[in-house]
């Protein structure tokens, strides 16, 4: 049964041809890989060497203390009362006696020492 297709129709020349194709393919790939790696490395090197825009980093300052003023709590709405009536200022009547605030009080306090006497005068 092993000869059901007859003898192998390939000779040494066919095998050499196949081998040659395989080898050329392998060598092409073995060249292609280092070349692509070298190209990638070169590109990376160029990118590193390119003048880059200077990025100025400001010196580190101590961060300013920010005081956040807390807003006072919103006062609850106070129930509006009826506006207080402004008491009209009564003008003193001409010739009237001075009011209590204008009355001068004099206190004469005697101490145990008969030579010392406290006199307190209020206005």
Please state the closest distance from residue 46 (CB atom) to other proteins, in A.
Answer: 29
Nearer to other proteins, 17 or 32 (CB): 17
Residues that bind other proteins (CB under 8 A): 1-6, 8-10, 14-15, 17-19, 21-23, 25-27, 30
Please state the closest distance from residue 34 (CB atom) to other proteins, in A.
Answer: 11
DSSP string, 46-86: HHHHSPPPP-PPPP-PPPPPPP-PPPPPPPPPPPPPPPPPP
Q: Are 109 and 117 in contact (CB under 8 A)?
A: yes
Nearer to other proteins, 10 or 42 (CB): 10
Please state the closest distance from residue 36 (CB atom) to other proteins, in A.
Answer: 16
Q: Specify the 3-state DSSP secondary structure of 15.
A: helix
């Amino acid at each position: 049964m092993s000869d059901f297709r007859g003898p192998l129709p390939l000779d040494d020349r066919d095998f050499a041809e196949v081998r040659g194709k395989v080898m050329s393919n392998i060598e092409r790939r073995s060249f292609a890989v280092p070349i692509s790696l070298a190209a990638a490395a070169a590109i990376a090197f160029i990118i590193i060497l390119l003048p880059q825009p200077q990025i100025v980093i400001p010196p580190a300052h101590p961060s300013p203390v920010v005081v956040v003023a807390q807003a006072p709590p919103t006062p609850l709405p106070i129930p509006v009362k009826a506006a207080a009536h402004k008491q009209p200022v009564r003008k003193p009547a001409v010739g009237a006696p001075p009011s209590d605030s204008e009355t001068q009080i004099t206190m004469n306090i005697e101490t145990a020492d008969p030579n010392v006497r406290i006199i307190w005068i209020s206005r």
